[in-house]
Amino acid sequence: MSAFHLAQINTARLKAPLDDPSMAEFVTGLTLMNELADRSPGFVWRLVGEDGDGTIAEDADPLRIYTMSVWESPEHLRAYAYQSEHLDYLRRRREWFHPNGPEAALVMWWLPAGEQPTLKEGIARLDRLRADGPTPEGFTFRDPFPAPISVAR
Residues that bind other proteins (CB under 8 A): 79, 81-88, 90-91, 93-94, 98-102, 141-142
| Rounded CA separation 64/56 (Å) | 8
Question: Whose Cβ is closer to other proteins: residue 12's or residue 68's?
Answer: 12
116: closest CA among 80, 70, 72? Answer: 70
Based on CB atoms, which residue is closest to other proteins, 50 or 88?
Answer: 88
Output the smallest distance, CB 17 to other proteins, in A: 20
The least CB distance from residue 97 to other proteins, in Å, is: 8
67: enclosing H helix or E strand: strand 64-71
Smallest gap, in angstroms, from Cβ of residue 88 to other proteins? 4
Nearer to other proteins by C-beta: 39 or 120? 39
The nearest distance, CB 109 to other proteins, in angstroms, is: 20
Cα–Cα nearest to 107, from 67, 47, 60:
67
Nearer to other proteins, 38 or 103 (CB): 103
For the range 84-87, what are the long-range contacts, defined as Cβ-Cβ under 8 Å and sequence gap of 24 or more? 84/36, 84/40, 85/32, 85/33, 85/36, 86/33, 86/36, 86/37
